[in-house]
Amino acid sequence: MTADSKSFEKRWIRPLPERLINKIAAGEVIERPAAVLNELVENSLDAGATRIDIAVEKSGLKSISVVDDGCGIEADQIEIAFSRHATSKIRDFNDLETLMSFGFRGEALPSIGSVSKTRMVSRTAEADDGRELIIEGGVLQSVKPVAVPVGTKIEVGDLFYNTPARRKFLKTETTEARHLTRTATAMALSVPGIRFSYTLNGRRLFLLSQNADSMQSRVAELLFGKENIPLLKVKYDSDKLSISGYLSFPDNCRRNRSGLYLYINRRYIFSPTLLHAITAGYGELLPGGHFPVGAVFLKIDPVRVDVNVHPTKAEVRLSEERQIHDLLYQVIKKSLRGSMGLPSASSAVQIKTAENNYTAAEAIRRLKDFLPGKSANKSPDLMEKLYREQDPQSSDKGQVPDDLQSGKDRTDIDIIHKKAVETESDPGAVRYLGQLGRLYLVFISGDELLIIDQHTAHERVLYEEQLKVIESGKAVSQNLLFPINIELTPERFAVYEEASEILRSAGIISQPFGATTVMLSAISSSLTKKSPEKVFEQILTDIENLHTGGEELTRVVAQSIACRAAIMAGDVISEEEAIMLYKRLSVADNRHCCPHGRPVTLKLTKDELDKKFGRK
């Protein structure tokens, strides 16, 4: 082709066809099934629904259906609802500044309609009959009258069927299920006045009755799985900002922040700054790395919030984030002090540092007396651990939590392994000198001094063994005398479902039993020394923490079991056990650091000693 012929070709600049635009927008607005659910439920809330029923099949890939009893859509409007930037919620730019509805972009329905096979039926109270609209891949199939109750039902089928790349990009079904459940939970939490049900893959995960006044019971039911749990009430009102919500007391916190839900103007949002403010409000009452569980709602003049930052609207921009952070922090701190009966001048921090008259154990006892529901709470060890961590003396005085107590029966470098190691060739002459500070095992090996951290070393050994066990499917598990039913929150349950097969291959045998209950019938034999229920919950927490950070599930499970089964700092172990551990470590693939990356062994050579003593 010559330059000449090129110049005859006219380069048309045309607007993209609407179907294509919608498909492109769909990539932004609805990145995964949970985002579709979010949009649909927001529409129902905007329509003034008093009940919302969600049913999801095949984790959203087969269908997502939302039924509401809201205002419905008029017959002649239903088609328009599926055209781009069509909305009933905003008329001019000023509306955008003061918007109180969830939707306003008019993007959701056309986007969803362009990447799925969607059916919507809707009727207003005034109309005699409703309309059914069917749209597939952005092409309108039919609109016809139907007899339906007032409200709207939308079924989104075969999501992403015509965008294979997007469909491929989705994670496993169980991961999508977890996102869906988080979305449903977050939305149901924020509207106690609405009857809410959620069924995932044929299992009803929750059915919440309408109870407009009781945010407290909704938080309790959804986040703790029980009605009567004592919760900290948070309340603050001023012209600029109001804060309300319910949070757990320190003895009911978690090792990750997935139980903490934050909202601005009813919208669930993610803001590291504000989440930090809440956690910081607990101060030293929360052990490091722990977070409260609960829901906090901020109401801010819409002018000060920019919700337009991200199409999925999970992020917001606040004009005075720093001030809001500080205020939120103060409010949480005050509420906590108020309801724990602590005099305002003496925070819990001072109880710890002003050890003038009483020990940490005593401080805990006193503090617990102030905690509501103390009689219901039979596991106070969190508070004890908390103070033990901050006050090293207390492990010598007062009560010591279970897992640090029994030096004797902590000799669980099990017999099975003993046999295995005894038949191995000796990895070199090594002499055990003793245990230092109930943690470090000191050896002499030839010309070297070896110091081994007993916990990380054992963890490393067990981790490698667990990995092999899971991969080979040859786990040794021990049946529980009686199976235990463990009640989980819907979100936890989703985590469980995602991991249950891998847990099974690690010897932790369980099955769903009822909506969000799990029946645990056997546990990996390396974990039999601990309370199975507690270990099970701890492992789920680990999975939640690590896996959401992108770690491979098999590794996470192996890591978690290893950590739970390993001897702890503080455990007294015998010479025989120390040598056994050394031998097992010396045949490990990686004997230098634990699965979390902490070092296992420290080596001091004679050469290094010579240098230190000025001999070289």
Binding site for ligand ADP (CB under 6 A): 39, 43-44, 47, 68, 70-73, 81, 86-89, 103-109, 152
**Residue 152 partner contact from Mg ion, ligand ADP, none using kind-dependent CB cut-offs of 5 to 8 Å:** ligand ADP
**H-only helix segments in 452-489:** 454-472
Closest residue to ligand ADP, judged by C-beta, is 103
Residue 294 sits in the site that holds Mg ion (CB under 5 A): no
Among ligand ADP, Mg ion, none, the one that 395 touches (CB under a kind-dependent 5 to 8 A) is none
Residue nearer to ligand ADP on the CB measure, 95 or 136: 95
Burial class (CB in 10 A: 0-12, 13-18, 19+), 532: buried
| Side chain identity at residue 514, one-letter code | G
Among 60, 103, 138, 245, interactor with Mg ion by CB under 5 A: 103
* H helix intervals, 233-284: 272-282
In the sheet where 51-57 sits, what is the strand order? 139-146, 130-136, 117-123, 151-157, 63-68, 51-57, 195-200, 203-208
Q: How far is the CB of 108 from Mg ion (least distance, A)?
A: 4
Query: Which residue's CB comes closest to Mg ion?
Result: 103
Q: Please, what is the minimum distance in Å from the beta carbon of residue 187 to ligand ADP?
A: 13
Look at residue 40 and give its three-state secondary structure.
helix
Q: How far is the CB of 127 from Mg ion (least distance, A)?
A: 21
Residues 84 and 22: their CA atoms lie apart, in Å, by: 7
Q: Which is nearer to ligand ADP, 80 or 609 (CB)?
A: 80
Q: Which of 520, 521, 536 is nearest to 479 (CA)?
A: 521
With tokens 């906090």, the residue in question is 296
CB of 88 to ligand ADP, least distance (A): 3
Q: CB-wise, 109 or 527, nearer to ligand ADP?
A: 109
Nearer to ligand ADP, 105 or 119 (CB): 105
Place of tokens 């000796």: 426
- Two structure tokens written together for 473: 């499917």
Which entry of Mg ion, ligand ADP, none binds 68, CB below 5 to 8 A by partner kind?
ligand ADP
Q: Which is nearer to ligand ADP, 65 or 601 (CB)?
A: 65
- Does residue 156 interact with Mg ion by CB under 5 A? no
Nearer to ligand ADP, 187 or 232 (CB): 187
Whether residue 317 contacts residue 112, with contact meaning beta carbons closer than 8 Å, is answered with no
Is residue 108 a contact residue for Mg ion (CB under 5 A)?
Answer: yes
Residue 47, contacted partner among ligand ADP, Mg ion, none, CB below 5-8 A by kind:
ligand ADP
Query: Cα(269)–Cα(230) distance, rounded to whole angstroms?
Result: 25
Cα–Cα distance list, 166 to 24, 169, 171, 178 (Å): 11, 5, 10, 18
Strand, coil or helix: what is 359?
Answer: coil
The least CB distance from residue 106 to Mg ion, in Å, is 7
Q: Residue 71: name its binding partner from ligand ADP, Mg ion, none (Cβ under 5 to 8 Å by kind).
A: ligand ADP
Q: Quick one: which of 383, 402, 394 has its CA closest to 571?
A: 402
Contact call for residues 170 and 32 (beta carbons, < 8 A): yes
Least distance to Mg ion, CB of residue 195, Å: 21
Q: Which entry of Mg ion, ligand ADP, none binds 89, CB below 5 to 8 A by partner kind?
A: ligand ADP
347 binds, among Mg ion, ligand ADP, none (CB under 5 to 8 A by kind): none
Residue 44 touches which member of Mg ion, ligand ADP, none, C-beta under 5-8 Å by kind: ligand ADP
User: Which position among 22, 43, 279, 466 is part of the footprint of Mg ion (CB under 5 A)?
Assistant: 43
Tokens standing for residue 228 = 């009567």
* Residues 191 and 184 sit within 8 Å (Cβ to Cβ): no
C-alpha atoms less than 13 angstroms from C-alpha of 433 in its C-beta half-sphere: 13
Q: How many residues bind Mg ion (CB under 5 A)?
A: 3
- The entry of Mg ion, ligand ADP, none that residue 88 binds, CB within 5 to 8 Å by partner kind: ligand ADP
- Say how many Å lie between the first and final Cα of the chain, rounded: 80
Residues that bind Mg ion (CB under 5 A): 43, 103, 108
